[in-house]
C-alpha cells in the first residue's frame, strides 16, 4: 500500500522530502474544458427556429433532403422546448403546416 502511495503523482513531499517536479500529470483542472452555460439563450433559439420556418415558407418544394427533413422534425420541437410554452406550440404548428404544404407540392 505504501508503494502505491509513493508513486502517486502529487505535490506532497514523500518520506525523503522529495517533491515531484511535474506534480499531477493532468493538473487540478488545468486541462478541463471551459465550463459553458447549459441553458441556451431563448433569443438564439427563437431566431434559429424562425430561420427554419422562413426557409420552408420561401421554398416551392422541400428545401431539405429526406434525411434532413426527418432531422428537423425531431430537432425543431426539442429546440422549441427552450421557449415559453405558448410560443413553442405556435412555432411547432407553423413548422408542421409548412412541412405539410411542401410534402403536397
pLDDT in tens, 72-97: 999 999 999 999 999 999 999 999 99
Q: What's CA 24's distance to the chain center, in Å?
A: 30
| Residue 10 belongs to a domain | no
Which is more confidently placed, 6 or 56?
A: 56
Q: Has this prediction a pTM greater than 0.75? A: no
Q: What angle do CA 99, 58, 78 make, to 5 degrees?
A: 45
Q: Report how far residue 29's alpha carbon sits from residue 39's, in angstroms, rounded to the nearest whole number.
A: 23
27 assigned to some structural domain: no
Q: What angle do CA 66, 53, 85 make, to 5 degrees?
A: 110
Residue 8 lies inside a defined structural domain of this protein: no
Q: How far is CA 12 from CA 5, 26, 60, in A?
A: 11, 16, 69
Residue 24 lies in a domain: no
Supply the range of the domain harboring residue 75: 42-104
Domain count, the chain: 1
In a domain, 13, yes or no: no
Position 50 in a domain? yes
Amino acid at each position: 500500500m505504501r508503494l502505491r502511495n509513493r508513486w502517486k503523482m502529487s505535490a506532497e513531499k514523500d518520506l525523503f522530502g522529495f517533491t515531484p517536479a511535474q506534480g499531477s500529470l493532468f493538473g487540478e483542472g488545468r486541462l478541463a474544458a471551459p465550463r459553458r452555460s447549459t441553458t441556451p439563450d431563448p433569443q438564439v433559439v427563437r431566431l434559429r427556429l424562425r430561420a427554419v420556418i422562413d426557409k420552408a415558407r420561401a421554398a416551392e418544394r422541400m428545401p431539405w433532403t429526406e434525411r434532413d427533413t426527418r432531422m428537423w422534425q425531431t430537432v425543431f420541437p426539442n429546440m422549441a422546448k427552450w421557449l415559453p410554452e405558448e410560443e413553442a406550440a405556435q412555432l411547432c404548428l407553423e413548422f408542421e403546416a409548412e412541412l405539410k404544404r411542401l410534402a403536397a407540392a
